[in-house]
Structure 1
Amino acid sequence: MTVFKPTTVQRQALKLVKGGAKHILLFGGSRSGKTTVLVMVIIYRAIRFASSRHLICRYRAKDARSSVLRETLLPALTNTVGTNRYNYLAHESMITLFNGSEIWIGGLGDREQADKILGHEYNTIYFNEISQLSYISVTTAYSRLAMRVPGCRNLFLYDCNPGSPLHWAYRIFIRKQQFLNGEPLVKPELYASMILNPADNAEHLPDDYISDVLGAMPEKQKARFRDGAWVKAEGVIYELFDESMILKAADMPKDYDRICAGQDFGLNITNVKIGWVHEVVYVIADYGAFNMTTKSFNEELTARHWFDLGPDSFSFPVYCDPAGGERIQEITGGVKANNSVESGIDFINAKIERGQFFVADGCTGVLSEIWDYCRDEAGEIIKVNDHFMDALRYAVFSDVQQGVIAQ
């Protein structure tokens, strides 16, 4: 068996985990050792506290199994305790250790998988690559950190290659603000973070990896994957959107010529409400939930006075994902949206370029996705963490296509 030999920076990260924080984020560049450190923390806790239970989750279960389970967790377990002291149950995506402890692996982006892994309580929940996870899905999992094992302090662990400065993790861990309202964290001492970069893990990397592989990347990718900087992603679709377009509530219009909304369905269910003043689009509010039925979601919107527009109230259309089928009927004012993706994106980009697009600072869903909504190298939209973006497009472009708003 091989003993884990952490680098100097990894030892500092382990010291951070042993501190008093309940939420620990390790962020930084590619292959910097973040995942290795947190996997070893889980292994140690599973061995140290018999019959404890721990969860490693990502957006997609298959990615968690390939990048964390097979590349890091299983080799580390073999080197730490030996192959005969743990058992991997592939059909359950779960590992049992010699002392009765369990390590579960799963994804939060699939309803069946999410129901399965969130049906248990844990002592540790490790969110791997949170740049792909919505704030809603992460906080929904919070309630499952409820297992009690004597002497074991329950922990949330996170890692990521940094996303944009609008991402929920940046606001919480770096700015020390509550994501939903921007107010200071009530207990900032419970949230700790640390940067780990490839240079800190150079002894475990090929000699040319940092200089020839990461160094050859485009500037934005280099900043993110080599230097661990929080920057807009490469290939961002709404590239020209900037912080000057984010308005305080007091700076939003008091009246609108027209109001409508967009509705996206799925495990992450979202609604975005917009208003028009002449040809200018204002994103007024957004709301999302994780693993909630359409009927319950609509009841929640009603409870939030979503459809109440004051004494001069009038009904407004909610343009829904046309693939929603019968679910559209469960949304107040629900009608089929125009789902012309590229045309809708082009229209919103035109509004941004003309200075005719603004977002209220309370629209945390839209703001958490808009700078990470991007295309891959083949020009295809990356379908991860894009639920508010879809709802936004349904609202804006469907109204235009209905002929209500001039193009």
Structure 2
Amino acid sequence: MLNLDALPLSRKQLRSIGRATARINLWHGSVRSGKTIASLLAFVIAVATAGPSGLILICGRSLQTIERNVFEPLQDEALFGPLARHIRHTRGATTATILGRTVHLIGAADTRAEGRLRGLTAQLAYVDEATLVPEGFWTQLLARLSVPGARLYATTNPDSPRHWLKTGYLDRAGELNLRAWHFRLADNPSLSPEYVADLSAEYVGLWRRRMIDGAWVVAEGAVYDMWDESRHVVTALPEQRRYWLGVDYGTTNATSAILLGEGVDDRLYVCAEWRHDSRAAHRQMTDAQYSAAIRAWLAAWQHPNSSSPPGIAPEWTFVDPSAASFSTQLWHDGHPGLARANNEVRDGIRSVAAALAAGRLLVHESCEGLLSELPGYSWDPKATERGEDAPLKVDDHSCDALRYAVHSTAHEWRHLLTAPKEATDE
């Protein structure tokens, strides 16, 4: 049923599949390097030869990520050939069938997920994106793999070199019954040069070293180390095709609204900023006052280089997802296009960083709050010591509003990262 020779696999992939016989088998490295396909094939082979004792588990950050990262590839006949017909899963279900065996799916978004493992006896487990599951869940999962010959298969992109998976397992491979394979983007010969170039353009700085080079490197210093006022700050704005608004809401902290535009020159522009710092002003505002002030600002704003009348209506307004009462007030006041901002912090920072590095995100000189925050926006060294990537929560309100607007619209502008220079630089 499974003929590896018929599949487009590299030597490294084949070697890892054949040697994945340890208690812990871990594939790590850059995105699209072939590690996931190799790990899934090794896992399916293990399912095919597994005995009747013990459960078979697939674990990941959530059921949705398991469906996307595990079952969508497994059911793709272009990747797995006839094998794909023997993988059955109904979207939303917590069980699946692989080669006739029942497989249980477990999401592990937080430490409470550990309780879902208690009392289980498992013989095989697959973990998607292992660095994203809690350490306690991973430890409990290993304890549940108690059937003789039980194995764990896992894949992950690199994270901090102080992450528990790196220090507790990869760095101790010689002490443990563990085999690991490191993959780089170059290890996947099936990728076209154009795709590699596009992917490389989407990752810069810290993420480029992790996701493209496959390195476990530390987050340190400035978050946007590519920020350069001489390059990124503009005194004039071109005509804008459309606008979006990102709002970071605060009561005792500052509230910031960032107006993001897509210019006719295929660049993103932070066109304007509204900001109220209750500490500096010695005056707090209610939700209704904030709503009225932001709507009045938008109604009065006029493109500085255009003869168009005042007033702007953003296509979408992305609001801090924790600001439920403020979002309700905006909705009550008839503010159009309201949406919860995408608040995936690391992914949002990566989107902003990619746009800045490519010269596709520029800031108008009038945005004083944002311009004061960007140079000092830094990684938290205490979080780094814990193996986490998190920015310092100091003077970050305009940076957060920028991240909301940029990352929540990434699907609209990401193609600009690889737009030919001659098409946009006039």
Please give the TM-score of this superposition, normalised by the length of structure 2.
0.49
* 8 Å CA contact retained: 1:42, 1:54: no
Structure-2 change in CA distance of 1:377 and 1:65 (3 Å)? farther
Amino acid at match of 1:23: I
Partner of 1:8: 11
Structure-2 change in CA distance of 1:24 and 1:238 (3 Å)? farther
Partner of 2:40: 39
| Structure 1 residues 92-140: Cα deviation after superposition (integer angstroms, max 9, x where no partner) | 43222454x2222221116886655656432122221122123222112
Tell me how far apart the structure 2 counterparts of residues 173 and 116 of structure 1 sit (CA, whole Å).
23
* 8 Å CA contact retained: 1:104, 1:117: no
Partner of 1:266: none
More moved, 208-217 vs 85-94: 85-94
Tell me how far apart the structure 1 counterparts of residues 161 and 92 of structure 2 sit (CA, whole Å).
38
| Structure 1 residues 22-65: Cα deviation after superposition (integer angstroms, max 9, x where no partner) | 22221110111111111111211111225463222112221111
Tell me how far apart the structure 2 counterparts of residues 170 and 64 of structure 1 sit (CA, whole Å).
22
| Structure 1 residues 316-355: Cα deviation after superposition (integer angstroms, max 9, x where no partner) | xxxxxxxxxxxxxxxxxxxxxxxxxxxxxxxxxx9x99xx
* 8 Å CA contact retained: 1:127, 1:159: yes
Partner of 1:334: none
Amino acid at match of 2:47: A
Amino acid at match of 1:34: K
Name the count of aligned residue pairs.
249
Please, which of 17, 20, 36 is the counterpart of residue 17 of structure 1? Answer: 20
Please, which of 217, 222, 230 is the counterpart of residue 203 of structure 2? Answer: 217
Amino acid at match of 2:58: I
Q: 1:8 offset after TM fit, Å?
A: 0.8
Amino acid at match of 1:49: A
Structure-2 change in CA distance of 1:102 and 1:120 (3 Å)? farther
SS in 2 for 1:40: helix
Structure-2 change in CA distance of 1:371 and 1:98 (3 Å)? closer
Please, which of 70, 82, 88 is the counterpart of residue 68 of structure 1? Answer: 70
Partner of 2:125: 125
* 8 Å CA contact retained: 2:160, 2:216: yes
More moved, 108-117 vs 125-134: 108-117
Tell me how far apart the structure 1 counterparts of residues 390 and 162 of structure 2 sit (CA, whole Å).
9
Structure-2 change in CA distance of 1:112 and 1:78 (3 Å)? farther
Equivalence map 1:75-224=2 (5 Å): 75=76, 79-81=81-83, 83=85, 85=86, 87-90=88-91, 92-97=93-98, 99=100, 101-109=101-109, 115-116=115-116, 120-147=120-147, 153-176=149-172, 188-203=175-190, 205-215=191-201, 217-224=203-210
Amino acid at match of 2:76: P
Aligned residues: CA RMSD: 4.3
SS in 2 for 1:45: helix
Amino acid at match of 1:230: W
Give unmatched runs, 5+ long, in structure 2. Answer: 226-375, 393-398, 405-426
Q: 1:165 offset after TM fit, Å?
A: 1.0
Tell me how far apart the structure 2 counterparts of residues 192 and 49 of structure 1 sit (CA, whole Å).
19
Q: 1:88 offset after TM fit, Å?
A: 2.6
Amino acid at match of 2:183: L
Partner of 2:294: none
Q: 1:168 offset after TM fit, Å?
A: 1.0
Please, which of 53, 56, 60 is the counterpart of residue 54 of structure 1? Answer: 56
Amino acid at match of 2:205: E
| Structure 1 residues 379-405: Cα deviation after superposition (integer angstroms, max 9, x where no partner) | 36xxxxxxxxxxxxxxxxxxxxxxxxx
Structure-2 change in CA distance of 1:86 and 1:160 (3 Å)? closer
| Structure 1 residues 258-306: Cα deviation after superposition (integer angstroms, max 9, x where no partner) | xxxxxxxxxxxxxxxxxxxxxxxxxxxxxxxxxxxxxxxxxxxxxxxxx
SS in 2 for 1:228: coil
| Structure 1 residues 126-162: Cα deviation after superposition (integer angstroms, max 9, x where no partner) | 22112212322211222221346xxxx2112222111
Tell me how far apart the structure 2 counterparts of residues 223 and 47 of structure 1 sit (CA, whole Å).
37
Structure-2 change in CA distance of 1:110 and 1:134 (3 Å)? closer
Amino acid at match of 1:129: E
Amino acid at match of 1:371: D
* 8 Å CA contact retained: 2:223, 2:391: yes
* 8 Å CA contact retained: 2:114, 2:136: no
Tell me how far apart the structure 1 counterparts of residues 69 and 186 of structure 2 sit (CA, whole Å).
21
* 8 Å CA contact retained: 1:166, 1:371: no
Amino acid at match of 1:69: F
Equivalence map 1:378-397=2 (5 Å): 379=403
SS in 2 for 1:202: coil
* 8 Å CA contact retained: 2:209, 2:217: yes
